[in-house]
Amino acid sequence: MFDDLKAKFILDFVEKDRWMYITSGLKTTLIVTMFALLLGLFLGLLIAVIRTVHDQLKEEQLHGVGGFVLKIANILCKIYLTVIRGTPTLVQLLLIYFVFLVSCKSKVLVAVIAFGVNSGAYVAEIFRSGIMSIDKGQMEAGRSLGLPYGDTMMKVVMPQAIKNCLPALVNEMITLLKETSICGYIGLNELTRGGDIIRGVTFDALLPLLVVAAIYLAMVMFITWLMSKLERRLRESDNR
């Protein structure tokens, strides 16, 4: 039994340096996740701010060119949220790869854009719920001191909002990391596909897929641990 496993292990990973499918796949997974996450956070924050500013301003303040631009931006954001959240990620990835960015040579770039744009929609709503969870007295206090809206948002509301939505953001990050496993559909050799390639060559499914699963699990546990540490530090101001 043990010898059998050992033989399979050597066949799956050692022979012909097949472990490199795993490591290079892991590298791709990490790159795609990281840049998609950054793109998602940027898009999400931008959209959340547009939506919040739009909703917080009263009708009579939405006049002039600025008000018009904001109204249009808000409508575009809503369409984006509806479409992205209403269609499967895989379909979006395939559409971007085979239709919208068909001339793009880098599959990694396609994946980053697809997952970033997808994640952005979810992150936007997470940020928005975070901003809305902050008592409006915080904004009023800032404004009553003469601080502009943007300053109060940046210095007072956002830090509290981000702290409040950190668990949901980590959730989204974990989902994103695992969701990149569908990149195989556009032929990008990420972690899952790396394991799958080994399975295809050696006809052993157990070890390669178990290893892949274990690596995902380890990464998720690491992210969770890191964030709980960060969360504890951010809670400093709540200590009584």
Instruction: Determine the straight-line distance between the first and last CA of the chain, rounded to whole angstroms.
Output: 57
- In the DSSP assignment, the letter for residue 13 is I
Binding part of the chain for other proteins, among 20-28, 147-155, 178-186, 195-203 by CB under 8 A, reads 147-155
Q: Is 45 in the site for other proteins (CB under 8 A)?
A: no
Is residue 55 within the footprint of other proteins (CB under 8 A)?
no
Task: Work out whether 233 is an interface residue with other proteins (CB under 8 A).
Answer: no
Could you say whether residue 56 binds other proteins (CB under 8 A)?
no
Kindly state whether residue 232 participates in binding other proteins, applying the rule CB under 8 A: no
Residues 167-196 that bind other proteins (CB under 8 A): none
CA distance 199 to 193: 9
CB 143 within 8 A of CB 149: yes
Under the criterion CB under 8 A, does residue 64 sit at the interface with other proteins? no
Single residue of 99, 145, 187, 232 touching other proteins by CB under 8 A: 145
Q: Could you say whether residue 63 binds other proteins (CB under 8 A)?
A: no
In whole angstroms, the minimum distance from the beta carbon of 60 to other proteins comes to 7
Decide: 19 and 35 in contact? Cβ < 8 Å.
Answer: no
* Cβ within 8 Å of residue 29, ≥6 positions away: 177, 180, 181, 183, 190, 191, 192
163 binds other proteins per the rule CB under 8 A = yes
Euclidean distance between CA atoms 139 and 134, whole angstroms: 9
Determine, following the binding rule CB under 8 A, whether residue 65 of this chain makes contact with other proteins: no
Specify the residue, 17 or 60, whose C-beta has the smaller distance to other proteins. Answer: 60
Closest to other proteins by CB, 45 or 197:
45
Q: Go through 17-34 and write b for each residue having 16 or more CB atoms within 10 A of its CB, e for each that does not.
A: ebeebbeebbebbeebbe
Window 123 to 142, contacts with other proteins (CB under 8 A)? 135, 137-138, 140-142
Tokens of 194: 């790396």
Q: Is 104 left (phi over 0), alpha (psi -120 to 50) or beta?
A: beta
Distance in Å, CB of 44 to other proteins, minimum: 20
User: CB–CB of 107/187 below 8 Å?
Assistant: yes
Question: Residue 85 CB, nearest distance to other proteins (Å)?
Answer: 30
- Does residue number 144 form part of the binding site for other proteins (CB under 8 A)? yes
**Residue ranges that bind other proteins, judged by CB under 8 A:** 58, 60-61, 135, 137-138, 140-148, 151, 155-156, 159-160, 163, 236-240
